[in-house]
A and B are shown apart, each in its own frame.
Chain A
Amino acid sequence: MSNIDSQTLSGDNALTGGPDGNAAPLLRVVEAALDDAKRRGATTAEAAVSRGQGMSVSVRMGDVETVEHNRDKSLGISVYLGHRTGSASTSDFSEAAVRDTVRAACTIAKNTVEDPYNGLADAERLATNIPDLDLYHPWDPSIDTAVELATRTEDAARGADPRITNSEGASVSSHAGTHIYANSLGFCGAVHSTNHSISCAVVASSQAGMQRDYWYSTARDAAELETPEQVGEISAQRALRRLDARQLSTRQASVIYEAPVAGSLLSHLVGAVRGSNLYRKATFLLDHIGKPIFADRVRIHEQPHLLKASGSAAFDGEGVATQARDLVSAGVLQGYVLDSYSARKLGLATTGNAGGVHNLTIESGPLDLPGLLQHMGEGLLVTELIGFGVNTLTGDYSRGAAGFWVENGEIQYPVEEITVAGNLKQMFRNIAAVGADQDRRGNIRSGSILIEDMTVAGA
């Protein structure tokens, strides 16, 4: 049962309660910060406060390796003196620390220049009707339970094959937290959420050397996690299939990005249509709204109100109501990713993306991964990407990769120590298919993606 509240602050009579009784003391901190900002002469102000707690255990080679207890809190405040702004944060919620933090923000604001685009979100954009997105499912397993689950996970991986010779361990973690955003326009929204995960990383060996791979499952509700045995087995199979990898010779080839790495392509899109990069002219997608940037069947949309999903949010980092929308429709760019500041700079309206996108999803086609391999015939299946060779300004793209060489629609052998390169502008146009095998674990949801005509560099 999730609990998200929004209510206008009025004096001391603020929103209280919450599933863990966490909200009331946090609200007092936010109110104190906003009140103090006002006393110091801030025209407007906004504050975000969060508190979380959780635990994480790891088991390696059958023994407990670490038991960690987490308890974090923070307060961040931004003040506006007219159109000047300053921000400050603290993990200390004492009255004195909150006062110091507000003062630090005001000091910074006094040293910055007037910028007419600075300020809170426009009042009419703030969320008023806040749906329950079902994000709060406390689990709080005992240490013994968590250790048992992690042990089962690692056992499943190590028992999967005699070539699994070593392990980096299996982990189980559980976290719960409360986040509140409030501003001097009277907006106050609270979100309670949980996050649980099981992960495992193992090493497979052969004469040729060692290969490591991992798998994880994550969910708002622990009941929806994959079983320890599933996570362990998948991690083992992923490590095993990489054994005896070879280097390819340099060539042009079609490339399939396996679903767990395909989302990275969408995050490059987000970077290229983010407001801050647009007004700085730091993107290869400047002035592309209304233009075709993808192959014409591609649809990419935001789904902020999906129940229990990792990127779900009723309001963004400025209290602005989030909305389901198409970012790309029939291959044509429909909008940007904006917060209030960048929107004003561009003469547009915020898209409710202060803090990022919400469950950005590329629509899947009918083919599963084996179907996509058949469709491609010959080419490279990429299962791992390393490095940061992506230039958002020019679209130039060059990253390290590992995966499999595919012929006649079938995997032939594992490959490594290669790069895949191209230009994102062309790569987006060359997306030939999106798989039905959608990875829904993160804030970006994608099936495997087939891109025609990339450069693969190797020996």
Chain B
Amino acid sequence: MSNSLETARSTLLEPTGITEQDIDRVLGQIMDRDVDYADLYFQYSRHESWSLEEGQVKSGTHSIDQGVGVRAVSGEKTGFAYSDEFLLPALSDAADAARAIARQPGAVHTRPIVWQRGGGVALYTPSDPLASIPDADKVRILERVEQEATRRDARVIQVMASLAGVHEVVMVARSDGVMAADIRPLVRLNVTVIVEQDGRREQGSAGGGGRFTYRYFDEADRGLDYAREAVRQALVNLEAVESPAGSMQVVLGPGWPGILLHEAIGHGLEGDFNRKGTSAFSGRVGERVATPQCTVVDDGTIVDRRGSLSVDDEGTPAQNTVLIEDGILKGYMQDTLNARLMGVAPTGNGRRESFAHLPMPRMTNTYMLAGKYDPNEIVASVDKGLYAVNFGGGQVDITSGKFVFSASEAYLIENGKATRPVKGATLIGNGPDVLTRVNMVGNDLQLDPGVGTCGKDGQSVPVGVGQPTIRIDGLTVGGVEI
């Protein structure tokens, strides 16, 4: 991580003339007041996207964002201001605005502080994905995807593909003397196809990505695999009949269906809602919230994953946090503010969309560990139910615990066999008890292909999910067929 800090210094500070002594003075200016904690968050990010439709790359965008967020925390109060100018007077103004949260003078602090380097290990390349290949090659990746999709089946009438990359450099300087940095690459390739047969049109989508460079999509022809997968899904949907409605046994496939865990369990276990007592999981650590087959973790330390972080946006090293172990609720995901107020340690889940947003507890990669059952055995165990293998988005009401997620590829299970495909339907359940109905957990743990984005209080951050095949004995399926 020491290299990250050097790179961050040279990217963020050197061009502006702001020194570490200046940062110390600004933090000192805030800590003059009755403030428990303060931090400065410097960020520089470049983002680009290229999009293809009708066989051609017709447009692209590029953006640069940079700025510094200044936060002062006093008890449960937070003062926050930011500037998109890396200039000392702007930084000082923001510090004044942030510290106004506390009006009493503070204790005497010894300054200057001696900076300590933050921990954390490098989990991904510091290379800038945007510069990893020539622009012409980015266009070529999209064109190959389109050609593969079109070539697969004559019923393909439309292919839309997009390629996006982010290069982000962040640095956090905290009032306790920790200075940490992270260089975060992020790329994503997505393809959506529309197929038509006898006047009926359906679509399929696939994609993937993570914290690496664009070269990933050329390796092993991954980009082409997305094209094939999107076409396959769209063709399945051409045959889909109306989805059933009502409560039934549901088998969820491995990988991205782990969005179940993100919605049903994950958000309800974020520290802020639990400190405030507004989560359906509040005060339930140590209680059984799942069958003994279920162990669920939030792991920000997986190499190259979309949801991984070497350090979070408060400079805390990411970690692997056990949320549910053998069915028992073990703990929450924390940022520094909520950890301090709850008297526990931060878990490396303090994240923010940008310098212009306040950090809060957010998930990284949330998944269920593998169990013992063969996935075929799980499907075979169901007389009548739904087998859902792919999903769109989901949402949760954290206080009531009710969550939904919408299937985009699903099949009826009849007499132990997956039979007819059914149209997408929303599944709805109750977070605190859905995992108490998980009676079979497969041995086929998969993580999602790297496509998740989580929204909370208007802030978006990249996340991952995963799970093995699981069987839920009783979940409401929102189809139309009674």
Contacts and interface: CB of A to CB of B under 8 A. Distances in A.
B426 interface: yes
B245 interface: yes
B482 A281 contact: no
A72 B356 contact: yes
A388 B393 CA distance: 6
Nearest to A69: B81
Contact of A280 (B53, B276, B394): B53
A339 to B, nearest CB: 13
Q: Chain A, interface size: which category?
A: 35 or more
Interface string A86-116: 1111111000010011001101100111010
Contacts of B479: 398, 421, 455, 457
A324 to B, nearest CB: 31
Interface stretch (B59-67, B206-214, B296-304, B305-313): B59-67
Contact of A101 (B64, B80, B397): B64
Interface string B448-482: 00000000000000000000000000001111111
A251 interface: yes
A387 B394 CA distance: 5
A65 B77 contact: yes
Nearest to A94: B85
Contacts of B402: 386, 400, 402, 416-417
A458 B94 CA distance: 51
Contacts of B394: 387-388
Nearest to B407: A389
Contacts of A237: none
Interface residues of B, number: 81
A81 B477 CA distance: 51
A410 interface: no
A77 to B, nearest CB: 10
B478 A421 contact: yes
Interface in A55-100: 60, 63-73, 85-92, 97, 100
Contacts of B271: none
A145 interface: no
A282 interface: yes
A252 interface: yes
Most A CB within 10 A of own CB, among B48, B63, B203: B63
7 contacts: A69-B97, A73-B84, A104-B64, A250-B482, A388-B393, A396-B424, A400-B428
Interface of B: 48, 50, 53, 56-67, 76-85, 94, 97-98, 100-101, 135-136, 138-139, 157-158, 160, 194, 196, 201-203, 243, 245-247, 276-278, 280, 356, 358, 392-406, 423-426, 428-430, 476-482
Interface of A: 60, 63-73, 85-92, 97, 100-101, 104-105, 107-108, 111-113, 115, 118, 143, 166, 168, 203, 209-212, 242, 245, 247, 250-252, 280-282, 384, 386-389, 391, 393-394, 396, 398-400, 402, 416-423, 455, 457-459
Given A111-B57, A400-B428, 11 more contacts: A67-B77, A68-B80, A89-B62, A97-B64, A104-B62, A245-B400, A250-B247, A281-B201, A391-B203, A399-B478, A419-B245
Q: Nearest 5 pairs between A and B by C-beta?
A: A419-B478, A400-B404, A387-B404, A212-B399, A389-B426
